[in-house]
Structure 1
Amino acid sequence: MKKLLSTVGLAATVFSTSSLLSTSAFATDWQEIEAQAEGQTVYFHAWGGSQEINRYLQWADTRLQQQYGVTLKHVNVTDIAETTTRLIAEKAAGKNTGGSVDMVWINGENFKSMKDNALLFGPFAESLPSWQYVDKSLPVDVDFSEPTEGLEAPWGVGQLVFIHDSESLYNPPQSFSEMLSYAKAYPNRLTYPRPPEFHGTSVLKSMLIELTDNDPALAKPVSEAQFDAVTAPLWKYLDEFHKVAWRGGKQFPAGTSESIQLLDDGQIDLAVTFNPNAVYSAQASGKLEESTKAYAMQYGALSNIHFLAIPWNAKSSAGAQVAINFLLSPEAQSRKGDINIWGDPSVLSSDYLTGSAQNTQQFKSVAEPHPSWQAAIEKEWLKRYGS
Structure 2
Amino acid sequence: MTPLISITRRHALGLFAATAVCPVQAATPIPTGWADTLRTARGQTVYFNAWAGSERINAYLQWAADQLQRDFGVKLQHVKISDAADVVKRVRAEKQAGRQDSEGTVDLIWINGENFAAMKREGLLSAPFAKTLPHFQWVDTVGKPTTLVDFSVPTEGLESPWGMAQLTFLADRQRLPKPPQSMAELLALARTQPGRITYPRPPEFHGTTFIKQALLEHAPDAKALAQPVTPEALQLQAAPLWRFLDALHPHLWRGGKQFPPHHAAVRQMLADGELLLALTFNPNEAANEIAAKRLPATVYSWQLAKGTIGNTHFVAIPYNAPSKAAAQVVANFLLSPAAQARKADIDVWGDPTVLDVARLPAAERALFQSAPRAGQLAQSSPALPEPHASWVDALEKEWIRRYGV
CA distance in 1, matches of 2:139, 2:323: 24
What's the CA shift for 1:368?
Answer: 1.2
Out of 227, 246, 255, which is 2:234 matched to? Answer: 227
Instruction: Verify: 1:126 aligned to 2:144, yes or no.
Output: no
Task: Note if 1:68 corresponds to 2:86.
Answer: no
Give the structure 2 partner of residue 262 of structure 1. Answer: 269
Partner SS, residue 243 of structure 2: helix
CA contact (8 A) 1:338 1:355 kept: no
Corresponding residue to 2:308 among 301, 304, 320: 301
- For the Cα contact (< 8 Å) 2:249–2:256, is it kept in 1? yes
Tell me if structure 1 keeps the 8 A contact 2:119–2:125.
Answer: yes
Work out the CA distance in 2 between the residues paired with 1:309 and 1:134: 16
What is the CA–CA distance in structure 2 between the aligned matches of 1:72 and 1:250, rounded to whole Å? Answer: 44
Equivalents in 1 of 2:213, 2:205: separation in Å? 12
For residue 94 of structure 1, report the CA deviation from its aligned partner.
1.0
Q: How does 1:239-278 map to 2 (within 5 A)?
A: 239-278=246-285
The one-letter amino acid paired with 1:42 is: V
Give the Cα separation in 2 of the matches to 1:297 and 1:141.
24
**Distance in 1, Cα, partners of 2:63 & 2:167:** 26
Q: Shift of the alpha carbon at 1:178? A: 1.6
What 5-or-longer segments of structure 2 have no aligned partner?
A: 1-18, 21-30
Choose the corresponding residue for 2:388, options 370, 374, 387: 370
- Relative to structure 1, is the Cα distance of residues 34 and 258 closer, same or farther in structure 2, using a 3 angstrom cutoff? farther
Please, which of 345, 350, 359 is the counterpart of residue 338 of structure 1?
345
- Candidates 130, 136, 159, aligned match of 2:141: 136
* One-letter code aligned to 1:75: V
Partner of 1:58: 62
In the alignment, which of 84, 87, 110 is matched to residue 88 of structure 2? Answer: 84
**Residue number in structure 2 paired with 1:109:** 114
Contact 1:190 1:270 in 2 (8 A): yes
Q: Matches of 1:36 and 1:102 in 2, distance apart?
A: 14
Give the Cα–Cα distance (whole angstroms) in 2 for the partners of residues 225 and 94 of structure 1. Answer: 38
Residues 71 and 179 of structure 1, relative CA distance in 2, 3 Å threshold: same
Correspondence for 1:204 among 192, 211, 215: 211
TM (norm. structure 1) is 0.87
Counterpart check, 1:329 vs 2:336: yes
Q: State yes or no: 1:353 paired with 2:349.
A: no
Q: Secondary structure at the match of 2:37?
A: helix
Q: State the Cα deviation string for residues 268-297 of structure 1 (Å, max 9, x = none).
A: 221111111221122112222111111011
Q: Partners of 2:197 and 2:61 in 1: how far apart? A: 32
d(CA) in 2 for partners of 1:64, 1:106: 21
Task: Tell me the SS of whatever aligns to 2:78.
Answer: strand
CA spacing shift, 1:353–1:71, aligned 2, 3 Å: farther
8 Å CA contact 2:52, 2:82 repeated in 1:
yes
Whole-Å Cα distance in 2 between the matches of residues 73 and 261 of structure 1?
32
Cα 1:315–1:247, aligned 2, differ >3 Å: closer, same or farther?
Answer: farther
Change over 3 Å in CA distance of 1:370–1:383 after alignment to 2: same
Return the letter of the residue paired with 2:129.
Answer: F
* Counterparts of 1:214 and 1:278, CA distance in 2: 32
Distance 1:356 1:129 in 2: 20
Distance 2:73 2:295 in 1: 37
Cα deviations across residues 97-119 of structure 1 (Å, max 9, x unaligned)? Answer: 32122111122221111100001
On the 8 A contact 2:169/2:278 being kept in 1, the answer is: yes
In structure 1, what is the Cα distance between the partners aligned to 2:208 and 2:369? 28
- Structure 1 residue ranges without an equivalent (≥5): 3-26
- Report the counterpart of residue 317 of structure 1 in structure 2: 324
Q: Aligned equivalents of 1:234 and 1:160: distance in 2?
A: 18
- The Cα of 1:49 is off from its aligned counterpart by 3.1
SS of equivalent to 1:75: strand
Q: What is the SS of the residue equivalent to 2:388? A: coil
Q: Which residue identity does 2:76 align to in structure 1?
A: L
Whether 1:159 aligns to 2:177 is: no
- Corresponding residue SS for 2:49: strand
Question: Aligned letter for 1:103?
Answer: L
Superposition RMSD in Å = 2.2
- Kindly provide the amino acid, as one letter, of the partner of residue 38 in structure 1: R
Check conservation: 2:220, 2:237, Cα contact below 8 A.
no
| Distance of 2:83 and 2:258 partners within structure 1 | 19
Q: How many residues align?
A: 363
CA contact (8 A) 1:333 1:353 kept: no
Name the SS of the counterpart of 2:171 in structure 1: strand
Q: Does 1:186 align with 2:193?
A: yes
Identity %: 49
| Matching residue's letter, 2:239 | A
Amino acid at match of 2:139: V
